[in-house]
């Protein structure tokens, strides 16, 4: 009898230990899920169930009847079901994963994102997300199927945040337009974005303007533009791309078959880089719109562009304003325009080409009856009477032609004054 009683007591103690162990495991798991696991952000129920387990164990310590072990098993099972159900509900929008990521990274959730995460366009500009906030935002966007156009302009995400968005775009197959301009991505971010472009097959438009890209960034972007055939519009203006970048991008553009428009405005492309970039444009068979304004093409680069216009048969819009082009450059560019049949819009405003350069460009139209030019911009450049007389003659051949210039030499109007 004594042996049997001792055995029963021992069994009771073992059961209590097992119950306590089971209860402890539930509480730890609940805290862990609530703090770290993406599957259990909403764990109010889990915490309460843990408290109930504590009560069960206390009752057993007071000597109440055994047989509570199955209850603990049920509690564990119900907790798992609750977490799974909540996960499925929130995964539809990504709200749970976003809130959890914000908690992990110690950032305040963007209420605007929570309100518009089901829209087809998300414009989250000037919010100061920073690297950590951007990383948190990238988590739900990986599986988001609603947002098609993403605008994160001016959030100072830097290289780390840019890398997070790039990794997201590798997985997301719904976003077609992305604006990452003015985010200080730097060369590190350019490298991450370039890696994304080699894998992404759905992005059609990408804005990387104002991100402090240098020639090192071009070394990564160049190969990406060769391999990517889906991207149609690329803006890398307002950066610090120099002569080396012109060489690299020139080679890439000669092989690219996807881009329809590219903006390289407000960079430092000049000298040999300008020449090689122009040569690349000559061999391109897809680009329709090219913006090269605010660089330093000068005479050397413009001569190469004139030759490129002889070869290129698809380019429709070309912006060469503010490129320090002298009169000789304008004359040599006109040589290409004399045979080109596709250019519709040409902007050469605010260049020192003087009236002589303007005259040469206009004369090329008179010599090219197949020209498609519809608009020429000579803003800020004064022209003489000889140019005006030629313009009257050319208008008879091309009645829809529109020319803008800085006024006629020797005449002043009240508005000009």
- Sequential pLDDT tens for the chain (417 residues): 444 444 444 444 434 333 333 333 333 233 333 333 333 333 333 333 444 444 444 444 444 444 434 333 333 322 222 333 344 444 567 899 999 999 999 999 999 999 999 999 999 999 999 999 999 999 999 999 999 999 999 999 999 999 999 999 999 999 999 999 999 999 999 999 999 999 999 999 999 999 999 999 999 999 999 999 999 999 999 999 999 999 999 999 999 999 999 999 999 999 999 999 999 999 999 999 999 999 999 999 999 999 999 999 999 999 999 999 999 999 999 999 999 999 999 999 999 999 999 999 999 999 999 999 999 999 999 999 999 999 999 999 999 999 999 998 865 444 444
| Residue carrying the six token digits 């370039």 | 194
Phi, psi of 319 (to 5 degrees): -110, 115
Are the C-beta atoms of residues 321 and 293 closer than 8 Å to each other? yes
> 271-283 vs 243-255: helix axis angle to the nearest 10?
10
Are the C-beta atoms of residues 153 and 179 closer than 8 Å to each other? yes
Measured CA to CA, the distance from residue 292 to residue 314 in angstroms comes to 17
Pairing of strands 289-291, 205-207: unpaired
CA-based end-to-end distance of the chain: 120
Measured CA to CA, the distance from residue 242 to residue 231 in angstroms comes to 23
Helix (H) or strand (E) holding 318: strand 317-319
Are the C-beta atoms of residues 228 and 174 closer than 8 Å to each other? no
């Amino acid at each position: 009898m004594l042996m049997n009683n001792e055995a029963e007591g021992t069994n009771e103690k073992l059961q209590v230990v097992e119950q306590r162990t089971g209860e402890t495991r539930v509480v730890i798991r609940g805290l862990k899920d609530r703090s770290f696991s993406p599957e259990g952000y909403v764990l109010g129920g889990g915490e309460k169930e843990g408290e109930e387990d504590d009560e069960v164990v206390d009752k057993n310590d007071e000597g109440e009847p055994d047989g509570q072990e199955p209850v603990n098993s049920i509690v564990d099972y119900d907790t798992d079901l609750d977490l799974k159900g909540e996960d499925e509900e929130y995964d539809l929008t990504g709200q749970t994963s976003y809130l959890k990521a914000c908690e992990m990274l110690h950032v305040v959730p963007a209420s605007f994102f929570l309100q518009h995460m089901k829209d087809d366009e998300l414009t989250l500009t000037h919010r100061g997300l920073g690297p950590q906030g951007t990383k948190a935002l990238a988590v739900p966007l990986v599986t988001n199927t609603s947002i098609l156009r993403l605008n994160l302009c001016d959030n100072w995400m830097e290289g780390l945040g840019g890398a997070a968005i790039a990794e997201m775009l590798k997985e997301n197959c719904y976003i077609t337009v992305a604006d990452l301009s003015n985010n200080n991505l730097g060369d590190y971010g350019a490298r991450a974005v370039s890696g994304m472009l080699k894998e992404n097959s759905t992005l059609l438009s990408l804005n990387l303007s104002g991100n402090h890209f240098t020639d090192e960034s071009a070394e990564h972007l160049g190969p990406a533009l060769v391999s990517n055939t889906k991207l149609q519009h690329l803006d890398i203006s307002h950066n610090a791309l120099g002569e080396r970048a012109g060489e690299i991008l020139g080679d890439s553009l000669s092989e690219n078959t996807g881009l329809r428009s590219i903006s390289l405005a407000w960079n430092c492309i000049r000298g040999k880089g300008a020449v090689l970039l122009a040569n690349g444009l000559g061999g391109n068979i897809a680009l329709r719109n090219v913006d090269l304004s605010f660089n330093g093409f000068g005479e050397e680069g413009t001569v190469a562009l004139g030759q490129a216009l002889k070869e290129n048969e698809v380019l429709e819009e070309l912006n060469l304003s503010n490129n320090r082009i002298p009169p000789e450059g304008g004359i040599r560019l006109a040589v290409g325009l004399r045979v080109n049949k596709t250019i519709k819009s040409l902007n050469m405003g605010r260049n020192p080409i003087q009236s002589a350069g303007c005259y040469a460009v206009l004369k090329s139209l008179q010599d090219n009856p197949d020209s498609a030019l519809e608009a020429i911009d000579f803003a800020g450049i004064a022209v003489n009477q000889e140019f005006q007389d030629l313009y009257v003659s050319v208008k008879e051949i091309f009645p829809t032609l529109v020319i803008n210039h800085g006024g006629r030499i020797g005449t002043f109007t009240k508005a000009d004054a």
